[in-house]
């Protein structure tokens, strides 16, 4: 199986975002404020699932590391 492109990753995230907004019974606007809402709820989930010292910081740091690695692999294109 080949690694997805960053464009494919973004599309996959957009699909997840649309499902999340629809699950809230709201109209999907494809906006950054909807992304903030999803990230916020994911951080609530992180706090519930992870009992480490600072699960939020750890999750955000790891996500940033993954993003940086993926953009370094494929250039600056999202």
pLDDT of residue 50: 80
Q: At what angle are helices 55-74 and 32-49 packed, to 10 degrees?
A: 130
Question: Are the C-beta atoms of residues 55 and 46 closer than 8 Å to each other?
Answer: yes
Find the largest Cα–Cα distance for the chain.
37
Mention every residue, 6+ apart, whose C-beta is less than 8 A from residue 69: none
- Which tens digit of pLDDT belongs to each residue from 42-59? 999 999 998 778 999 999
pLDDT of residue 54: 92
pTM of the model: 0.81
Dist. CA 77–CA 75, nearest whole Å: 6
């Amino acid at each position: 199986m080949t690694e997805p492109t960053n464009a494919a990753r973004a599309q996959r995230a957009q699909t997840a975002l649309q499902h999340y907004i629809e699950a809230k019974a709201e109209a999907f606007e494809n906006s950054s404020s909807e992304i903030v809402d999803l990230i916020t709820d994911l951080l609530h989930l992180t706090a519930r699932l992870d009992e480490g010292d600072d699960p939020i910081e750890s999750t955000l740091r790891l996500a940033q590391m993954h993003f940086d690695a993926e953009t370094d692999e494929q250039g600056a294109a999202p």
